[in-house]
Amino acid sequence: MQRPGLIDEYVGRLARKLDFDRSLRWRVCREVEDHLREAAATNGTGDVAAANFGDPDAVAAQFAVISLAKRSRTTSSASIVGIAAIFVAMKGRVAWYAMATETAGGASKSVAGSLGSIDRYTFGSLSSQA
Amino acid sequence: MLGMEGEILKGHLDMIVLATLSAGPAHGYAVIEEIRRRSGGAFDLPEGTVYPVLHRLEQAGLLSSRWVTADSGRRRRVYGVTKRGDKALAERREVWEEFSKAIGALLGGTGSCNAPA
């Protein structure tokens, strides 16, 4: 005899454990619920289906590892893109100052020269750190 | 808790899941049933172990997935092997064949690993 709400109870427990990632929680819970309902329809009981699926804490822990790896990759990619953008922007500024010192005269020339030196120094420090 | 055989099996789950799905797209429950059927019931892991593998393989680009509506009206996620997945499976098959041949030779006492005379 199938206890009412047993599958909902299992999915609810899994959902609480997957609270750290909302999109993952939604997708996993839908998939697991479908699986348990099909297994219960085949085997006749929700508790057998839930027992065969395994401990929800252990299942959630496996998804936590996957989610963490995905976030690490996303963060790494974003950092690389960010650093590359800063380098390109600084290179552009250095080139712009070089052009400005050639075309401008007097005070603007010395200001552009000083700013260019600051950028070159900062760019050099960042390059050596990277 | 998984026994030693279960642990060995877990180490090859990626290949097992890819091989199962290479026959055609399927949802998680069907994948598990097919693994059980094709292994003659020998591979009977906790069913929840297979879903993280499906997600991981999808993240790695070896599987793709989409939601479909089943005859029962329930929405389910169907997985299929990508071209990269096919290539990865072929590579893993090759490695597995070499590995099993080497283990067979060691356990059977045949092959080139005999003690020198």
C-beta separation of A79 from A57 below 8 A: no
Q: Of B89, B109, B16, which is closest to residue B54 (Cα–Cα)? A: B16
Distance from CA of B98 to the nearest CA of A (A): 30
C-beta separation of A63 from B55 below 8 A: yes
Tell me which of A14, A31, A42, A57 to substitute to probe the interface with B (most B C-beta atoms closer than 10 Å).
A31
Q: Of B45, B58, B61, B37, which is closest to residue B13 (Cα–Cα)? A: B45
Section B68-73 average pLDDT: 86
pLDDT at B51: 96
Section A87-96 average pLDDT: 78
3-state secondary structure of B112: coil
3-state secondary structure of B11: coil
Other beta carbons within 10 angstroms of residue A38's beta carbon come to 20
Partners of A21 on chain B (C-beta within 8 Å) are none
User: Kind and range of the H or E element at B82?
Assistant: none
DSSP state of A18: T
Q: Distance of CA A3 to CAs A15, A16, A44, B10, Å?
A: 20, 21, 11, 32
Q: Has residue B116 got a pLDDT over 80?
A: no
Q: Distance of CA A36 to CAs A8, A30, A42, B36, B42, Å?
A: 10, 10, 10, 17, 22
Q: Has residue B115 got a pLDDT over 80?
A: no
Q: Which long-range contacts (CB under 8 A, 24 or more apart) does A21-30 make?
A: A21/A63, A21/A67, A24/A63, A24/A67, A27/B77, A28/A63, A28/B51, A28/B55, A30/B75, A30/B77
Q: Each residue of B5-49: pLDDT tens digit?
A: 666 777 789 999 999 999 999 999 999 999 989 988 888 778 899
pLDDT at A15: 96
C-beta separation of B18 from B91 below 8 A: no
**Confidence class for position B77, pLDDT limits 50, 70, 90:** very high
ipTM of the prediction:
0.78
Highest mean pLDDT out of A32-41, B35-44, B103-112: A32-41
* More reliable by pLDDT, A105 or A89: A89
Q: Of B42, B82, B47, B83, which is closest to residue B66 (Cα–Cα)? A: B82
Interface check for B69 against chain A (CB to CB < 8 A): the answer is no
pLDDT at A86: 80
Q: Of A92, A116, A120, which is closest to residue A104 (Cα–Cα)? A: A116
pLDDT at A99: 76
Q: Of A118, A65, A67, A49, which is closest to residue A90 (Cα–Cα)? A: A118
Partners of A30 on chain B (C-beta within 8 Å) are 75, 77
Compute the distance between CA of residue A14 and CA of residue A55 in angstroms, rounded to an integer.
9
Could you tell me the pTM of the whole model?
0.72
**Confidence class for position B4, pLDDT limits 50, 70, 90:** low
Q: Tell me the average pLDDT of chain A.
A: 81
**Confidence class for position A117, pLDDT limits 50, 70, 90:** confident
Section A39-46 average pLDDT: 83
Share of chain A above pLDDT 70, in %: 80
Compute the distance between CA of residue A87 and CA of residue A104 in angstroms, rounded to an integer.
25
Could you tell me the two tokens for A46?
A: 């929700």
pLDDT at B1: 45
CA nearest to B58 within chain A: A66
Q: Has residue A43 got a pLDDT over 80?
A: no
pLDDT at A127: 59
